[in-house]
A = this chain, B = another copy of it.
Amino acid sequence: MDANALNIPQPDGAMDVKLWLRLLSCVNLIETELRQRMREQFASTLPRFDMLAQLDRFPDGIKMGELSRLMLVTGGNVTGLADSLEKEGMAARVYDPSDRRSCRVKITASGKKQFDQMATAHQRWLNELMSGLPEAEKAHLYTLLGAFKQQLPTA
């Protein structure tokens, strides 16, 4: 007979669920705000911003598979997003002359300009959303989340 069957309270087990729900809820509250502001102020979406952010890190371009792996915001179809950014002149596909099957996506000057504006606003929004927490507590939270992340399985 296990502890569950004996109805013994399991503080640890329940704590993990509570911790998970609180994490999820914090992320949802912030994401809802960011999504709304991105739409209102840039007529854009979070997956789109996320893709520009990843492209911005690789000025020489990045393969689609790698791009997809790096993206933090789910819900965006990576190929569809890249197509749409390319159509608007914010990204370009670059083909390797020695291997036509290999293709990388690259941010354009216009994409970079748009991304810089978005990133500045994005940071300002986060500063505003997090202004109620003292810096020392933020630093502590950051450290604890680092230890937490470290022990998670890497997807």
A109 within 8 A of B: no
A43 within 8 A of B: no
Cα-based distance from A142 to B11 in the complex (angstroms):
13
Q: Is the CB of A155 within 8 A of B32?
A: yes
Cα-based distance from A26 to B56 in the complex (angstroms):
23
- Give chain A's interface residue range (CB within 8 Å of chain B): 35 or more
Cα-based distance from A26 to B138 in the complex (angstroms):
16
- Residues of A participating in the B interface, judged by any CB pair closer than 8 Å: 4, 12-33, 72-75, 120, 122-124, 126-127, 129-133, 135, 137-142, 144-155
6 contacts across the A-B interface (CB closer than 8 A): A19-B145, A20-B126, A22-B146, A28-B74, A32-B155, A33-B155
